[in-house]
Amino acid sequence: MSSTNTQVRLAARPSGLPKASDWEIVEEPVPTPGEGEFTVRISHISLDPAMRGWMNAGASYIEPVEIGAVMRAGAVGEVIESRHPGFAVGDHVAGAFGVQEYAVSDGAGLPKVDPSLAPLPTYLGTLGMTGMTAYFGLLDVGKPQAGDTVVVSGAAGAVGSVAGQIARIKSCRTIGIAGGEEKCRWLTDELRFDAAIDYKREDVRLALREHAPEGIDVYFDNVGGEILDAALTRLARGARIVICGAISQYNTTEGFKGPANYMSLLVARASMTGMVVFDYAARFADAGRELAGWIADGSLISREEVVEGGVRAFPDALLKLFAGENVGKLVLRVGAG
Ligand SMILES: NC(=O)c1ccc[n+]([C@@H]2O[C@H](COP(=O)([O-])OP(=O)(O)OC[C@H]3O[C@@H](n4cnc5c(N)ncnc54)[C@H](OP(=O)(O)O)[C@@H]3O)[C@@H](O)[C@H]2O)c1
């Protein structure tokens, strides 16, 4: 075992895309657990668009990361030392361990994960936070009915790829919006979406008219901005818009662009509802079982893209999300796990 714990700390609040000087790489001794605690050797760290928001000052659904603090991140790892009766050496756990190699935890609310049932990165994706977001955002907020037309933006990403597949499993007509031909082909050919729209090449509004002639019943929005505005022009009566995220706006230096076409909510008697995955924590275990069942019977494909390089690679790896370089869930490998 190494005696140092390499950490990535927030050095400055970014303007626009985070840059190298917004981070500080620090080496500390590996922490030892107190009574009722354990030490985790982290194997994989989750890379999430939301991290950009956590770097900003000001109130949100969660406290900002303080300057000088270890960057907040979901992660999985193995217990290597324990003074906790519920966690033994060799157990694998998921938790908000931060961008570092080792973490100490009291285990409160942390799920154990089983690497013999699914690869560890899957517990950060489809069986983790992004899968839960897709599941509850689509089913609880979007409330799709069989035969509905469901449109998902950011469709080739971690949340979007799962949300679209759940819509297909629920017998909806499923249309994905993603950047690039290869991603669109993956959506239709492998994930069995009914149609995919390449927003970098196509006019999204016209393409929605073609692929959703009866209008959109559920729009699951991961990106905001112009794509949200285009979707607003094609709503079916009683449509539900799930506001899951707005990645197109996270690095703006000119202020968030809100939807201009919101009056179509009135015309369509539609609703637009924000959701935060943490509100569904009490139901994560049940959702995880259902998602795992769909993976096992082949109805849902889970894809993770694992970046190598350890925690020092974190600042560059995070930027891949904003450049659209990932397909499926983006994860950073830390240890050998
Ligand atoms: N509400 C919640 O509780 C909750 C929880 C988790 C995640 N989220 C949100 O869900 C969304 C997806 O997160 P994720 O983890 O699944 O990330 P992701 O979709 O795996 O990765 C981000 C993707 O966003 C797309 N993108 C980047 N810049 C864009 C732009 N300017 N316009 C349109 N698309 C752009 C890229 O795909 P393309 O190549 O297609 O552009 C990129 O691959 C994010 O908005 C995130 O904040 C919300």
Residue 44 has φ and ψ, to the nearest 5°, of -145, 140
Does any ligand 1 atom lie closer than 6 A to the CB of residue 159? yes
**Residue 83 CA to ligand 1 centre (angstroms):** 38
Does any ligand 1 atom lie closer than 6 A to the CB of residue 222? yes
- Closest atom of ligand 1 relative to the 278 alpha carbon: 3
Q: In angstroms, rounded to a whole number, what is the distance separating the alpha carbons of residues 27 and 9? A: 10
Q: What is the pTM of this model?
A: 0.98
**Residue 264 CA to ligand 1 centre (angstroms):** 24
Strand stretches in the chain, DSSP E: 4-10, 23-29, 38-46, 75-82, 92-95, 102-105, 112-113, 149-153, 173-178, 195-198, 216-221, 235-243, 271-274, 304-307, 329-333
- For 279-333, what is each residue's pLDDT tens digit? 999 999 999 999 999 999 999 999 999 999 999 999 999 999 999 999 999 999 9
b/e burial code for range 292-326 (CB count within 10 A of at least 16 → b): bebbeeeebbbbbbebeeebebbbebbbebbebeb
Nearest CA to 102 among 309, 318, 334, 336? 334
Does any ligand 1 atom lie closer than 6 A to the CB of residue 228? no
Contact criterion met (CB below 8 Å) for 192 and 214 = no
Contact criterion met (CB below 8 Å) for 207 and 197 = yes
Ligand 1 atom 45: the closest Cα is on which residue?
Answer: 245
Ligand 1 atom 30: the closest Cα is on which residue?
Answer: 248
- SS3 for 38-99 is EEEEEEEEECCCHHHHHCCCCCCCCCCCCCCCECCCCEEEEEEEECECCECCCCEEEECCCC
Does any ligand 1 atom lie closer than 6 A to the CB of residue 176? no
- Per-residue pLDDT at 336: 56
Question: Mean pLDDT per 10-residue run, the chain (337 residues)?
Answer: 92 97 98 98 98 93 96 98 98 98 96 95 98 98 98 98 98 98 98 98 98 98 98 98 98 93 98 98 97 97 97 98 98 82
- Per-residue pLDDT at 59: 81
Does any ligand 1 atom lie closer than 6 A to the CB of residue 313? no
Q: In angstroms, rounded to a whole number, what is the distance separating the alpha carbons of residues 107 and 127? A: 19
Contact criterion met (CB below 8 Å) for 126 and 291 = yes
